[in-house]
């Protein structure tokens, strides 16, 4: 009998003897001892002979299956791994040090994956089936899980896990990694202390939320902060912080609370600053209006490939907000609300850098029906490439000489 079959057989017998859920509150050592004792009893009763190595291997598998994350427990514990992507039971990829690579860890089958997902979703009142083929959830450690199954996924089941960082980085870590230098760090700190409205832009997995987390800690202690997110990621070390999280609709399709609902409600909570995890839709109008009506120093992130693309995306969001804005009005709102854009990129070697810090300025020029927004660079990331190896060999951050309008008095 293969070890996989032995594991499944023993796991079923052990589940029949022990109520796994009743042990949830017990200490880890206690859980392990109970599982070990019960497994030994089953082996004696069934007269199953296992070597010490095989016994320990199956014991660890059963323990992780019951109280951990099954086969991917090892990946979840590895702090260098930031993403886990399950395309099929035998097709698992990970992101490590900014680069994607295939893992040698597998599930036993797609049914095994479904059981693992149900164990996560059930306590949260969520389900995944043909009538509801997508699900978002947050694990106990704060990691985010997205699940997609047939019929909308051609693969039988696809799971994406963005791991929560237990050890949060600080500005010193980013300087050591080359994401920015001390001059850029000091400039960003000055912007935050001077209550600049900041938008952090970049493509997927460029480190937008990490930067947002770090620079938020430059906010003075005497200010009241409201954070608004889809799933909890922002972790600010301040006393007066209120964290709000959106909610998906329930099985009946009711009870949804959107980012826009939370932004509007936050205005009644006497915030000094509002920090929104990500703006991606019609809530953009509420966030920008909050920035422009007494909540200076607010921050958010937006998916965009460049600062110019960010302006274009925000313009589209504003036009779709239902307020009958024309492009010219939308751009005036954008330029009067945003002070600083911090744009991030991920290089070919997986390194994440602040590629641009710039100011969006309305020059009062009109082209057709649109008033023009000029992007004025303040800092640029520059690098030289080894043409043979196509890798970064040197990098620096250059100050353009442009001083943003809101900092004129400080220079």
Q: Which of 283, 272, 273 is nearest to 230 (CA)?
A: 283
Based on the fold, state whether residues 122 and 220 are members of the same structural domain.
no
Instruction: Give the residue from 162, 188, 214 where a domain finishes.
Output: 162
Task: State how many domains the chain has.
Answer: 3
User: What's the CA gap between 244 and 295, in Å, rounded?
Assistant: 17
pTM of structure: 0.79
At residue 325, the pLDDT reads 87
Which residues lie closer than 8 Å to 76 by C-beta, 6 or more apart? 68, 69, 84, 141, 143, 161, 163
Half-sphere exposure of residue 263: CA atoms within 13 angstroms, side-chain side: 25
Q: At what angle do helices 3-17 and 52-67 cross, to 10 degrees?
A: 60
The CATH number of the domain where 156 resides is what? 3.30.450.90
92-120 pLDDT, tens digit each? 999 987 889 999 999 988 888 988 888 88
Based on the fold, state whether residues 286 and 318 are members of the same structural domain.
yes
* Dihedral pair phi/psi, residue 38, rounded to 5°: -65, -40
Structural tokens at position 89? 């039971």
User: What's the CA gap between 90 and 107, in Å, rounded?
Assistant: 6
Q: Which of 70, 86, 61 is nearest to 145 (CA)?
A: 86
* Mean predicted confidence (pLDDT) in 174-194: 92
Based on the fold, state whether residues 107 and 50 are members of the same structural domain.
no
Which residues lie closer than 8 Å to 316 by C-beta, 6 or more apart? none
Based on the fold, state whether residues 177 and 153 are members of the same structural domain.
no
Residue 393 has pLDDT above 50, yes or no: no
Residue 135 has pLDDT above 70, yes or no: yes
The CATH number of the domain where 252 resides is what? 3.40.50.300
Instruction: Give the residue from 162, 191, 224 where a domain finishes.
Output: 162
- 10-24, 57-71, 119-133: least confident range: 10-24
Based on the fold, state whether residues 98 and 37 are members of the same structural domain.
no
- 6-10, 112-116, 149-153: least confident range: 6-10
Q: List, in sequence order, every residue forming a beta bridge with 359; answer none if it has no partner.
A: 376
At residue 21, the pLDDT reads 57
Show the domain range for 53: 3-67
Residue 35 has pLDDT above 90, yes or no: no
Based on the fold, state whether residues 240 and 365 are members of the same structural domain.
yes
Based on the fold, state whether residues 43 and 110 are members of the same structural domain.
no
Own/partner pairs for 74-79, CB < 8 Å, 24+ apart?
A: 74/105, 75/103, 75/105, 76/141, 76/143, 76/161, 76/163, 79/165, 79/166, 79/167
Based on the fold, state whether residues 200 and 134 are members of the same structural domain.
no
Residue 394 has pLDDT above 60, yes or no: no
Based on the fold, state whether residues 180 and 115 are members of the same structural domain.
no
Based on the fold, state whether residues 104 and 49 are members of the same structural domain.
no
* Mean predicted confidence (pLDDT) in 289-316: 93
Based on the fold, state whether residues 112 and 184 are members of the same structural domain.
no
Based on the fold, state whether residues 215 and 283 are members of the same structural domain.
yes
Instruction: Give the residue from 135, 162, 189 where a domain finishes.
Output: 162
Q: Which of 265, 189, 199, 176 is nearest to 226 (CA)?
A: 265
């Amino acid at each position: 009998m293969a070890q996989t079959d032995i594991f499944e057989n023993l796991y079923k017998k052990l589940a029949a003897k022990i109520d796994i859920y009743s042990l949830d509150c017990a200490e880890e050592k206690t859980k392990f001892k109970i599982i070990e004792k019960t497994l030994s009893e089953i082996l004696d009763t069934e007269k199953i002979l296992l070597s010490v190595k095989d016994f320990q291997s199956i014991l660890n598998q059963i323990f992780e299956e019951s109280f951990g994350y099954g086969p991917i427990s090892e990946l979840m514990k590895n702090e260098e791994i930031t993403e886990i992507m399950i395309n099929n039971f035998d097709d698992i990829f990970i992101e490590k040090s900014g680069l994607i690579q295939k893992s040698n860890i597998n599930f036993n089958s797609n049914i095994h994956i479904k059981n693992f997902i149900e164990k996560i979703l059930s306590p949260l009142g969520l389900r995944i089936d043909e009538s509801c083929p997508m699900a978002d959830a947050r694990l106990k450690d704060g990691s985010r899980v997205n699940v997609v199954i047939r019929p909308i996924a051609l693969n039988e089941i696809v799971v994406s896990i963005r791991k929560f960082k237990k050890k949060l980085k600080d500005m010193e870590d980013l300087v050591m990694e080359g994401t920015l230098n001390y001059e850029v760090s000091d400039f960003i700190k000055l912007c935050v202390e001077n209550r600049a409205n900041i938008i952090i832009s970049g493509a997927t997995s460029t480190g937008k939320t990490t930067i947002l987390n770090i620079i938020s800690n430059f906010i003075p202690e005497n200010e009241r902060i409201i954070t608004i997110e889809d799933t909890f990621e922002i972790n600010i070390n301040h006393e007066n912080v209120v964290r709000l999280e959106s909610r998906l609709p329930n099985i009946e399709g009711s009870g949804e609370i959107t980012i826009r609902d939370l932004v509007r409600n936050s205005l009644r909570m006497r915030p000094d600053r509002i920090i929104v995890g990500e703006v991606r839709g019609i809530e953009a109008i509420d966030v920008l209006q909050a920035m422009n009506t007494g909540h200076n120093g607010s921050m958010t992130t937006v998916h965009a490939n460049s600062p110019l693309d960010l302006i274009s995306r925000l313009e589209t969001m504003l036009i779709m907000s239902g307020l009958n804005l024309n492009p010219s009005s939308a751009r005036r709102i954008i330029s009067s609300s945003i002070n600083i854009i911090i744009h991030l990129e991920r290089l070919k070697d997986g390194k994440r850098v602040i590629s641009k810090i710039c100011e969006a300025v309305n020059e009062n020029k009109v082209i057709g029906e649109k008033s023009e927004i000029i992007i004025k660079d303040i800092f640029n990331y520059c690098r030289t490439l080894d043409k043979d190896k196509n890798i970064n060999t040197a990098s620096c951050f250059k100050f353009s000489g442009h001083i943003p309008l809101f900092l004129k008095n400080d220079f």
